[in-house]
């Protein structure tokens, strides 16, 4: 199957980023979100990010104009049903994703492929609720989508070779590199990354080091471009906690127990950059540690 039209569910950071790279690669994109104001903000963000690409010579102004012209928006989920490929990029909660796919099913054309950008949830389990598990796949982009080169491809137990090949061709057309991950909790990247962040939070919780010292240690001692607590704020502490819970529940191993301090920050609504506060406070000119 040749994919030309793509629907994206969710106009947040990931969904807008996915729409951005798809449109630049020549796909006709329909971006859907239940909040009309979120769609407006997403298109504005895409436009600004493309402006930056033009400024640094990554694309030319004509490419930007054509790409923006390929993106349409809607608040009506059924309108995505005629797409060749639909990518769900909603919040990392299984119930939300299952409802989206359940609502989509009656409106899909027979050949439509469904994909989830989930960073941790079982593709097999999601696919089993769609009545077309052979045409379902995990397509996990990294954040920020327009910058990061990696995409994880995750087959469910029933994913067909035709589906895998069609979606692999999309990744190749985007100019990104695909890795194939087995369908186990959190796949490859987050199976390694999020427990590392969780351990950094434990290191803070136990008083081994301060926020600044933990991040500085990993930047200068392990040559990481960003400290683990700073990275957690960038990802979103709610997302980090959700992935840790998937690992803990899915693998039944106490080494994946979420740190109580991470739980406390999420309960407080201190979710990181998007909330203005996390392990750092971003409400001033310069981020300052909150602990």
Given the residues 16, 117, 122, 190, the one annotated as active site: 190
The one catalytic residue in 152, 198, 230, 248 is: 152
Catalytic residue among 119, 120, 146, 198: 119
Verify whether residue 190 is a known catalytic residue.
Answer: yes
Residue 119: active-site member = yes
Give catalytic status of residue 230 as yes or no. Answer: no
Active site residue 35: no
How far is 150 from 191, CA to CA, in rounded Å?
A: 15
Question: Which one from 140, 146, 198, 230 is the annotated catalytic residue?
Answer: 140
Residues with catalytic annotation? 119, 140, 152, 190
């Amino acid at each position: 199957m040749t994919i030309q039209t793509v629907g994206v569910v969710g106009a947040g950071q990931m969904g807008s980023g996915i729409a951005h790279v798809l449109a630049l690669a020549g796909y006709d994109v329909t971006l859907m979100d239940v909040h009309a104001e979120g769609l407006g903000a997403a298109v504005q963000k895409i436009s600004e990010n493309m402006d930056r690409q033009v400024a640094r010579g990554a694309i030319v102004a004509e490419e930007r104009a054509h790409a923006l012209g390929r993106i349409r928006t809607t608040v009506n989920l059924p309108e995505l049903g005629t797409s060749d490929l639909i990518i769900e990029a909603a919040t990392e909660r299984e119930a939300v994703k299952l409802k989206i796919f359940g609502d989509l099913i009656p409106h899909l054309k027979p050949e439509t492929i469904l994909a989830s950008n989930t960073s941790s949830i079982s593709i097999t389990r999601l696919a089993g609720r769609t009545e077309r598990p052979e045409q379902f796949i995990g397509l996990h982009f990294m954040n920020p989508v327009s910058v990061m080169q990696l995409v994880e491809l995750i087959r469910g137990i029933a994913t067909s070779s035709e589906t895998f090949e069609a979606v692999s061709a999309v990744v190749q057309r985007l100019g990104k590199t695909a890795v194939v991950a087995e369908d186990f909790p959190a796949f490859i990247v987050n199976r390694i990354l999020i427990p590392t962040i969780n351990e950094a939070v434990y290191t803070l919780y136990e008083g081994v080091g301060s926020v600044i010292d933990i991040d500085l240690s990993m930047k200068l001692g392990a040559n990481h471009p960003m400290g683990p607590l700073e990275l957690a704020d960038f990802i979103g502490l709610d997302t980090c906690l959700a992935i840790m819970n998937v690992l803990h529940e899915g693998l039944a191993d106490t080494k994946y127990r979420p740190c109580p301090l991470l739980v406390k920050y999420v309960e407080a609504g201190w979710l990181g950059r998007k909330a203005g506060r996390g392990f750092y406070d971003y409400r001033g000119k310069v981020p300052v540690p909150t602990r």
